[in-house]
Structure 1
Amino acid sequence: MARAVTSYVASLFGSEELADCVVIFCQAQSDVAKAPPAKRRKKAGAGQQNGPAPPIGDPLPAHRLTLFGGSARLRSQAERWTLEQTAGGSKPELRVPLGSPEDLPHALSALRFLYTGKVDGSSAAQLLQVRRQAAYLLVEGCVEACDTALLDRIAGDLVPQQAGGTARSSGSSPLAPVAELFACRHLLPDAAESGGDTATEVVMRLCRVQLVLHSRAIAASQGTANASGDLGDLLAWAFGDVPSLLCNPGARAQMLRLPVAAMEALLGSDSFATDDEAMVLLVLAQWREANKAPFASACDRLCRLVRLSQLTEDYLHDTLPHIPWFPLSAAEHAFLRQHVSSAGQAKKRQALEAAAAGLYDTTSPWYAAGARPCGRSDLNRRYDWYVDQEDLEKGLAAPQAAIRLTGRFDTGDKRLVSRGLEWFPSIRAKATDEMAGVFIHALAPAALCLPESVERIRLASTSVRVVVCRWAGEGDGSWVEAYSKKYLREEYCTEVGGGLGVPSALPLAKALAAGAPGGDGVSQLRRWSEYLHDDTLLGSLTFV
């Protein structure tokens, strides 16, 4: 389009010139179209008024040609106007409900985009609020433009790293845009909003990139005293809770690149949520594996940030003392157990701490820190689980051998983590069995470097749902559940290194008699055909 035309169209925004409709902004009520969600804001008495919705601001002269082409919601409203309603010369009135008067400038910005193709927003909060209004009004291209502007704002002058080079960012602080977004994080779109799940993940990934690149310098400027303060809160928000972090390969890889100062801030943050303190120890173990030299120089500082007194009793007693790289002597481990057992006995604890004065630091997080926030954000997130047909065929090739199919998750990992352990499902059967079993297993993470020579009996439990699917057929074209089992940690447990499940979970087709057509090795695979499609067997695991 010619520059003169685009400039002229932009000048028509809010102008009476050629205007053939009016946009009226009004307070959302229960009897009008639902407004976009005003996050963290609830108006007293909302939805209890009767009569016309009260207007907000002045009517906006508008142009149906522009609105029709750019907003599906406003076009739908305009098309409902009848010839009788416009016969008297009145212009169609298009009503836009708002959650509050504070939403008006953001709704205006979303409509201005229809005329200018440009996003108004001088801050992350403004961009997110304009995005929300644009998503509600179905303004074509505006949501994507807001997302792009937000990413550009976070990236700043970030440039691709050259070999041996570094990324740079201008401004007083390269993490200022990340901190700005953190301050308005409640405005980030959720999965229910247009493109919200993808947009938020991309934004968070870029925030983590900036934190990896610049957290060392920021920590140095803050000083050790504030290491678990502002920077720690930023890191805990950007990387999320421990279980979800360790189940997300992308975020986990970024965490492994954090410098020592950032790991100190993250581990020391009171905002770093988990389902079990053993998971925090696992984060440190995985970071140690990828950063042997930096860990060696900061071993004591980092390990001191694990809240040992918050470990479960069996982990504290039977796992912690066998981690070879963790700097806890046998004598202090024995004292720590006494200290933990004195919870609720003020005089006994006071006496223990007095006796340990000058020997053990009972003010350190090992002893004194409270429990972290409890939670994992991927609860009820279905992790799809795949087994290749080729693996099944290999198992069937040895009729006397037991088939054990473990597969991989949609994240690319073979195991997921919960409560300090690795978990994975399996399908087991012998080639001649009429039923296949479905099991869930728990393993001690290899990153802990626990010696195999130590005989330990430890039970494990988590709350999880295991599913195996069958193909519904080409007509239905979808997978449906063939088997489902929920395990609640209050009701089930298994030995670490073992598993629990149902040996007769999946009925298999009957084998053909020897010598019958198809009664060869192919018939063994046919027995599993109900659970196979596109050379894949599908299941899922969901933490609940």
Structure 2
Amino acid sequence: MQAHAACNVRVAEGISSLFGKEANSDCRIVFRLEHHDNERDYGTQSGRKREREDDVDNSTVGEPLPAHSFVLRFASDKLAAQLEWPAKTATGANEQERPAAKKAKGKGRKAAAKPCAAEEQQRPSPPVVEVRRQAAYLQMEGCVEACAAAVREKLTAAGAEAVPAGTAAASATAQSVAQTPAAAAAKAVLELYRCTDVWPDPADDAAFAALLTEAKRRLVAHLGDALAVLNDQTLYDQMRALPAVGLEALLESDDFGTDSESSVVLLLAEWMEAADNFSRTDAATRRRLCGLLRLAQCSKTYLAWVLPVLAARHLKSPQQPHGWFAVSPEAVTCVSNFAAATEEETQALTASGDLVPLLQPYTDTWLSTKRWRQCLPAAGRTFDFNISLTALEQQEQTLASMAPGSAWWITGVVPGAPTSGRVVALGLDWSGFLHRKKGQDAAAGCFAIVNMPRVLRQPGLDEARLMSAAVTAFPRMRLTVYSGSAAGGEQRKKAWESKPGGVSSMGVGRGGKGCLPLLPVSASAQQSGGAVAARWAAYLHGGQIRCALTLLPP
């Protein structure tokens, strides 16, 4: 028989077939679960938690695994050493009773291990990364490499490429739900970031560091940009479920897009508000995340109204969730003055030598002039908002009992948005609504109103009143209403488009008064109770009026 240079094929196949079988086994591996009673430190440089101490539970987990010492001896240096230990029980002369994954000193570990096999990689639990950690502890190099290859294969999803950064935002929602290779790769990335507690330290593992670089790229490509995340419930939930190291990957990537730095600040605020995210980070981690913000690029609204309030909250209550913004009021003042300075003033500020020390160690980031990728294409990004016929009828009924000159307005519902009636842009909430005055039956208006996001207002705090007094530059925006019959197909009718240079206060709307012509109502429609449907018939589709708010690039 001809032997292979590395190993006889029949021998290799025979050995691999022994996994989990009693045949020819001469030992067993018993699994015991390690547990940790002490607190964990979430403030490591990598943003991952580390256990300080652990205890080993004497209770076993699952059934003992039949094993073959001649295989274990060559598969794992750790198990080879364990095989030399004397038997501990009278009945276990051939039983390997030492816990197979007792924690190595200096390494944070929390679960027992068992030998790796191809079958193990296909199981939903434990995940491949957990198996890889166990294999690394057992010094099973081949298994470590196999696990890394399995993770890499999932990330690439059968050759699927990450969506280019310029188009990720437009298609991110579809990717998150569609059964496509790209969606499978996105799912693998999110799963990888859900188990950061079993990651090896990238500084000690070059192969995993390379894998993590690819994972970061694909995470950014999947989530796309701040507006995609803040305006889509699926992406919003995925962002808030990320560990700190995952959010850090977004904030430090130039490929992550936004319309404004203000939206990036809001994204971080939304992440901090998610259950346990504040408590799962320490002060150093929060400072590091805030240190990734390019604050000087924030809008005037944020520089003048939002950031000072957030800094004041941090100064008063740094250990409370509403005090997450780890930036001092002095630093905010410096950043605001720098952002508003002329070129000559900027040179004087940086040359004086007094500004830089106040912003250390994040001077270069907070004062950065390097722009994020602009996520609004030339044609803009459109968000639908719908108003039901039922809501219209209720408002018309109320209006009938009100004094002449009274008016109603109805805010639309934005399908799939985290806040159903609002679109996020420039770090603020924008709502589209319809408006009609009593006695003016010939036309109605379409408006957009701006408000401070709830997560920033923090009801009950005095600073919220100050923030609600803010004003903002009105962005380039177009409001449209879908019209046309089912036979002719829907068409968009432009209702109103903002002009450059406009401003608005919080809670104040701008738009087109009387921009939507209404139909006359016949006597029969009045008598039958169908007056509202008849008046709005040109815009009704399936029992609702469909409108759209289009954000245009600056």
Query: Which deviates the most, 355-364 or 272-281?
Result: 355-364
Question: Which amino acid is the alignment partner of residue 518 of structure 2?
Answer: L
Aligned partners of 1:179 and 1:311: how far apart in 2?
34
Residue in 1 that maps onto 2:218? 234
Q: Contact between 2:290 and 2:327, CA under 8 Å: does it hold in 1?
A: no
Please state if 1:507 is matched with 2:494: no
What does residue 505 of structure 2 align with? Answer: 495
In 2, distance between residues paired with 1:361 and 1:421?
Answer: 29
Q: 1:523 to 1:341 in 2, by over 3 A?
A: closer
1:437 paired residue number: 445
Q: Structure 1 CA distance, aligned partners of 2:198 and 2:343?
A: 40
Match of 1:292 in 2: 278
Q: How many matched pairs?
A: 379
CA distance in 2 between counterparts of 1:339 and 1:491 reads 23
How much has 1:483 moved relative to structure 2? 4.3
Decide whether aligned partners of structure 1 residues 207 and 251 sit closer, same or farther in structure 2, where only a CA change above 3 A counts.
Answer: farther
CA distance in 2, matches of 1:522, 1:305: 57
TM (normalized to structure 2)?
0.59
Contact 1:241 1:377 survives alignment (8 Å): no
2:478 corresponds to which letter in structure 1? R
Distance 1:524-1:237 versus aligned 2 partners, 3 A rule: closer
1:285 deviates by 1.1
Matches within 5 A, 1:149-164: none
In the alignment, does 2:261 pair up with 1:283? no
Give the Å deviation of 1:427: 0.4
Q: Which residue identity does 1:311 align to in structure 2?
A: C
Pairing of 1:29-44 with structure 2 (within 5 A): none
Distance 2:252 2:164 in 1: 26
Match of 1:269 among 253, 264, 275: 253
Instruction: In structure 2, give the amino acid aligned to 1:293.
Output: S
Match of 2:465 among 440, 453, 461: 453
TM-score by structure 1 length?
0.60
The answer to whether the 8 A contact 2:163-2:222 is kept is: no
CA–CA distance in 1 between the matches of 2:234 and 2:381?
17
CA 1:180/1:480 → structure 2, altered by over 3 Å: closer, same or farther? closer
Contact 2:301 2:470 in 1 (8 A): no
Secondary structure of 2:349's counterpart equals helix
Which of 408, 415, 430 is matched with 1:410 structurally?
A: 415
Cα deviation for residue 287 of structure 1 reads 1.0
Cα shift at 1:241: 1.7
Match for residue 433 of structure 2? 426
1:174-229 deviation per Cα after TM superposition (whole angstroms, max 9, x unaligned): 652366479944799x99xxxx9779964444333222221336975335998996
Q: Could you say if the C-alpha distance between residues 480 and 207 of structure 1 is closer, same or farther in structure 2, counting changes exceeding 3 Å?
A: same
278-287 or 169-178: bigger deviation: 169-178
Cα distance, 1:426 vs structure 2: 0.7
Q: Which amino acid aligns with 2:507?
A: G
Q: Do the aligned partners of residues 393 and 174 (structure 1) sit closer, same or farther apart at CA in structure 2, a change above 3 Å counting?
A: farther
Give the RMSD, CA atoms, in angstroms: 4.1
Deviation (angstroms), 1:415 = 1.6
Map of 2:531 onto structure 1: 523
Q: Please say if 1:388 is aligned against 2:393.
A: no
CA distance in 1, matches of 2:265, 2:525: 58
1:463 aligns with 2:463: no
Unaligned runs of 5+ in 2: 1-119, 133-145, 314-322
Deviation at 1:393, TM superposition (A): 1.3
- 2:548 aligns to what? 540
Inter-CA distance 336–199: structure 2 relative to 1 (3 Å threshold): closer
Alignment check: 8 A CA contact 1:384 1:409 kept: yes
SS of the counterpart of 1:371?
coil
Alignment of 1:10-409 (within 5 A): 171-172=147-148, 175-177=151-153, 180=156, 184-185=161-162, 202-215=180-193, 216=196, 221-223=201-203, 231-290=215-274, 291-295=277-281, 298-323=285-310, 324=313, 325=323, 326-341=325-340, 344-345=343-344, 347-354=347-354, 356-357=356-357, 360-368=360-368, 370-376=370-376, 380-398=380-398, 399=400, 400=402, 402-409=407-414
- Which amino acid in structure 2 is aligned with residue 221 of structure 1? D
- Kindly indicate whether the alpha-carbon contact (under 8 Å) linking 1:273 and 1:373 is maintained by their aligned counterparts in 2: yes
Q: Which amino acid aligns with 1:171?
A: C
